[in-house]
Amino acid sequence: MKIAAVILAAGASIRLGRPKQTVVVDGETLIQRVVRVAKAAGLSPVIVVVSPEAEFAAGMLECGCMVVVNESATEGIASSIRHGIKAAQTFNPEGVVLLACDQPALTANHLLALCAQPQSVCGSRYAGKVGIPAYFPASVFDELLQIKGDTGARDLLRNALSVSAENLSFDIDTEEDIARLTDKTKFGSRQT
Sign of the C-alpha dihedral computed for residues 134, 147, 67 and 15 taken in this order? negative
pLDDT attached to residue 189: 44
pLDDT digits (tens, 9 = 90+) for 85-135: 999 999 999 999 999 988 888 999 999 999 999 999 999 999 899 999 999
- pLDDT at site 161: 95
Ranges of each domain in the chain: 3-185
Measured CA to CA, the distance from residue 57 to residue 67 in angstroms comes to 7
Name the strand (E) or helix (H) holding 185. helix 184-187
* Farthest-apart Cα atoms in the chain, separation: 41
The CA-atom distances, in angstroms, between 173 and each of 11, 84, 90, 91 are 11, 22, 32, 32
Distance between first and last Cα of the chain: 20
Instruction: Give the CATH number of domain 3-185.
Output: 3.90.550.10
* pTM above threshold 0.85: yes
Count of Cβ atoms closer than 10 Å to residue 101 Cβ: 27
